[in-house]
């Protein structure tokens, strides 16, 4: 089976790596081609993850770069179409919900190439999120829908997706976490930042709904400023967030003290090390909600909803929105010792990629959606 895998943005690398790794262990069954769309092109958001994860360099890089949603999606489609016509894969594997995922899926579907969507069925039910549109359209067009949790499978059934296309396999991102957590334990990042294990707060912030609105961004930063009065705050700044902070002049909201540690984006291993030893994580990232649930670290999600509700019902995640008052109330409660004991969802055991590859190896692609 000739498999073409697509990765475009930071979270994609952690999801595609274990799948490609398992396939490459069975060369008698699979030949693989890895395509990097170049949606994330900054070395801090791209190249470092290939090194950290031991992922082989991509066979092809489309180099689409930055741009609006339409520009990125169109650029991937135009450049990938030529690749697909040359490579003639038996199946295309896409992961997550970024623009590259949607663009690759549409392009393959129009060429009658079956698509396998890893992390299918996740829903926030918030159509103002670009990622929600990407998720819905990708799932409709995919022949294989690999879900990370039962609620995702239920969402697909409720949308009328045939059962033959739905496969509950667990969370492939946790495969990478489990493989790398021992290595991450040897990271020197604690000494480099001057923080004590278990005695700091880790923050990530990048979603347009949070960083593109100066009022919302200022409120979140003021909450972080209050948190750092109690514990050091480690804040790896996403390039988009850094740009918006400069554009709005929001840097002045953050206190210039040793407790507020603003750092460039971190590699996967250093970030995982910090995540696993944090007193609390504050984020608007979906993947980090999952990782903190598995690591047993309290997580405050700075959004009004989540496409990963299992991290709330089963895990350590709380949805607190983006108002400073709500964020601070929840943060102070955790710092005062009020923490929930979550549990790891079923099949988040480090073997999701093996289940995915087994399905692909043992079955023919179901009919494309239009023939369902």
Catalytic residues: 206
Burial class (CB in 10 A: 0-12, 13-18, 19+), 218: middle
Angle at 23 between CA 17 and CA 28, to 5 degrees: 160
Q: Classify residue 168 by its DSSP letter.
A: E
Angle at 238 between CA 225 and CA 117, to 5 degrees: 125
209 alpha-carbon distance from chain centroid: 17
Q: What does the chain come to in residues?
A: 372
Phi/psi at 266 (5° precision): -100, 155
Helix segments in the chain, DSSP class H: 10-24, 47-53, 69-87, 99-110, 130-141, 150-158, 172-184, 189-193, 208-211, 214-227, 239-248, 268-277, 286-295, 310-313, 324-335, 352-362
Greatest Cα pair distance in the chain: 61
How many other β-carbons are positioned within 10 Å of the β-carbon of residue 44?
16
Residue from 16, 307, 304, 288 nearest 139 by CA: 307
């Amino acid at each position: 089976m000739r498999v073409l895998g697509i990765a475009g943005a930071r979270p994609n690398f952690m999801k595609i790596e274990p799948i490609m790794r398992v396939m490459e262990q069975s060369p008698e069954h699979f030949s693989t081609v890895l395509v990097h769309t170049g949606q994330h092109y900054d070395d801090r958001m791209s190249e470092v993850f290939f090194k950290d994860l031991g992922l082989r360099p991509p066979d092809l890089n489309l180099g689409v770069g930055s741009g609006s949603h339409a520009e990125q999606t169109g650029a991937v489609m135009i450049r990938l179409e030529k690749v697909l016509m040359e490579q003639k894969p038996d199946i295309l594997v896409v992961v997550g919900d970024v623009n590259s995922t949607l663009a690759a899926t549409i392009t393959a579907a129009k060429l009658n190439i079956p698509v396998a969507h890893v992390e299918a069925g996740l829903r926030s039910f918030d159509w103002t999120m670009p990622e929600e549109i990407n998720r819905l359209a990708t799932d409709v067009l995919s022949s294989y829908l690999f879900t990370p949790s039962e609620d995702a499978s239920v969402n697909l059934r409720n949308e009328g997706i045939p059962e033959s296309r739905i496969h509950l396999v667990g969370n492939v991102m946790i495969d990478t976490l489990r493989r790398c957590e021992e290595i991450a334990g040897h990271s020197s990042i604690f000494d480099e930042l001057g923080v004590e294990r278990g005695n700091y707060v880790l923050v990530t912030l990048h979603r347009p709904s949070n960083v593109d609105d100066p009022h919302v961004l200022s409120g979140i930063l003021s909450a972080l400023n209050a948190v750092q009065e109690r514990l050091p705050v480690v804040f790896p700044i996403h390039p988009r967030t850094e740009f918006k902070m400069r554009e709005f002049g929001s840097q002045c909201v953050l206190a210039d003290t040793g407790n507020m540690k603003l750092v460039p984006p971190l590699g996967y291993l250093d970030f995982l090390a910090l995540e696993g030893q944090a007193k609390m994580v504050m984020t608007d990232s979906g993947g980090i909600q999952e990782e903190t649930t598995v690591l047993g670290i309290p997580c405050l999600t700075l959004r009004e909803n989540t496409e990963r509700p299992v991290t709330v019902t089963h895990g350590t995640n709380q949805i607190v929105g983006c108002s400073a008052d709500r964020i601070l109330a929840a943060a102070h409660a955790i710092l005062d010792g009020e923490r929930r004991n979550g549990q790891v969802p079923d099949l988040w055991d480090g073997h999701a990629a093996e289940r995915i590859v087994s399905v692909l190896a043992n079955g023919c692609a179901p009919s494309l959606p239009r023939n369902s």
